Amino acid sequence: MYIHKKTAGDWAFDIVNTLLMLALVFVTLYPMYYVLCASVSDNTYLVAHPGVLFRPHGLTFGAYRMTFEHPLILSGYRNILLILVLSLPLNIVMTLFCGYFMAAKKMLFKKYIVVFMMFTMFFSGGLIPAYLNQRSLGLFNNIWALVIPGALSLYNAIICKTAIEAIPEGLTESAYIDGANDVIILFRIVAPLIMPTMAVLLLYYGVGHWNNWFTASIYITDNNLLPIQNVLRALLIANTDVLGSGESVGDQYDSYAETIKYAAIIVTTVPVLCIYPFLQKYFVKGVMIGAVKG
């Protein structure tokens, strides 16, 4: 066995590489650290010094209290939770149906139906026809406008299909012989066996809904129906359209006008950031599948 000795060049390479990686970690984490510090800092200080922060200035949780009293943030939270409760079961059932069908063998029309579905990955009607279509279907300015059009992602269905294909055929075949139909097999045998994949798909769909603001910005006109990201947008970016941030934010918020932004970022982003590391090893697999088939 050949044993490699580190040369001077190798040492230099390792040191530079480690430093680069540390720089990446810093650049990635610092913005979130900044947000954390800013959210508990004193509002007056932050307004005067919005620059580099390495520790909180002052320590107050008033901004968090305000966040949980802010009517639009509360309704935004309520709306996004409602969207998740309505969407995720629908997403999972549709994805399982689609994935199970694509993984099936010996079906006459499977090929045509798969081509029919795959075509939509390469060509779509575009923004305006989709918008007019959705309005004509009545999916406008109600919660269903944010649920039904996002019922299925074909990309996720392909990940699901690949996971189903990895199940030994004997398992499903013996269930057939025992008289089970496909629906029973799918929910009693297949779904429990692909639990890790399902968890990742739940993460993908969940994060997709949670972080989506564009759909609501064009299909929802009633402020009380806006999900959390749209409220954040009004709060953080205050662009010319959508609700002017001053309109619904009362005087009592003025003393936290700046820090409440950061507190709102923390309460909307941290839930997602706490979940993904646990699913990391599974979604890495998912990305590989998606890319190979994509």
Partner 1 sequence: MPKRAAKRPVGQILIRDFQQNKWKYLMILPVVVYFILFAYKPMYGIIIAFKRYRPTLGIWGSPWVGFEQFALFFKDVYFWRLLRNTFSISGLSILFGFPAPILLALLLNEIRCSWFKRTVQTVSYMPYFISVVVMCGLLKAFCQTDGVFNDLIAAFGGARENLLSVKDNFYAIYVGSGIWQSIGWDSIIYLAALSGIDQQQYEAARIDGAGRFRQMISITLPGLAPTITILFILRMGGILSVGYEKILLLYQPLTYEVADVISTYVYRKGIIEANYSYSTAVGLFNSVVNICFLALTNAISRRVSETSLF
Q: Which of residues 28-57 bind partner 1 (CB under 8 A)?
A: 28-29, 31-32, 34-35, 49-52
Residue 55 · residue 37 · CB < 8 Å:
yes
Query: Does residue number 246 form part of the binding site for partner 1 (CB under 8 A)?
Result: no
Burial class (CB in 10 A: 0-12, 13-18, 19+), 36: middle
Query: Does residue number 15 form part of the binding site for partner 1 (CB under 8 A)?
Result: no
Q: Evaluate the CA torsion angle 270, 271, 273, 277 in order and state its sign.
A: positive
Q: Which one of 91, 226, 261, 263 is in contact with partner 1 (CB under 8 A)? A: 261
Query: Does residue number 166 form part of the binding site for partner 1 (CB under 8 A)?
Result: no
Q: Identify residues 218-237 at the interface with partner 1 (CB under 8 A).
A: 218, 229-230, 232-233, 235-237
Residue 90 · residue 147 · CB < 8 Å:
yes
Q: Measured from the CB of residue 138, what is the shortest distance to partner 1 in angstroms?
A: 12
Closest CA to 101 of 152, 166, 162, 161: 161
Please measure the distance between the N-terminal and C-terminal CA atoms of the chain and give it in whole angstroms.
41
Q: Measured from the CB of residue 256, what is the shortest distance to partner 1 in angstroms?
A: 15
Query: Cα dist. 33→37, 90, 162, 198, 276 in Å?
Result: 6, 36, 38, 32, 18
Q: Identify residues 53-92 at the interface with partner 1 (CB under 8 A).
A: none
Q: Measured from the CB of residue 149, what is the shortest distance to partner 1 in angstroms?
A: 5
Q: Identify residues 123-162 at the interface with partner 1 (CB under 8 A).
A: 123-134, 137, 149, 151-152
Q: Identify residues 90-109 at the interface with partner 1 (CB under 8 A).
A: 94, 97-98, 100-101, 104, 106-109
Select 194 or 235, whichever has its Cβ closest to partner 1: 235
Q: Which one of 73, 83, 164, 186 is in contact with partner 1 (CB under 8 A)? A: 186
Q: Which one of 58, 116, 188, 224 is in contact with partner 1 (CB under 8 A)? A: 116
Place of tokens 């994805």: 95
Q: Measured from the CB of residue 61, what is the shortest distance to partner 1 in angstroms?
A: 20
Dig out the tokens for 240 from the structure.
Answer: 């010319």
Closest CA to 37 of 270, 272, 274, 259: 259
Only segment of 70-78, 160-168, 194-202, 205-213 that touches partner 1 (CB under 8 A): 205-213
Residue 257 · residue 33 · CB < 8 Å:
no
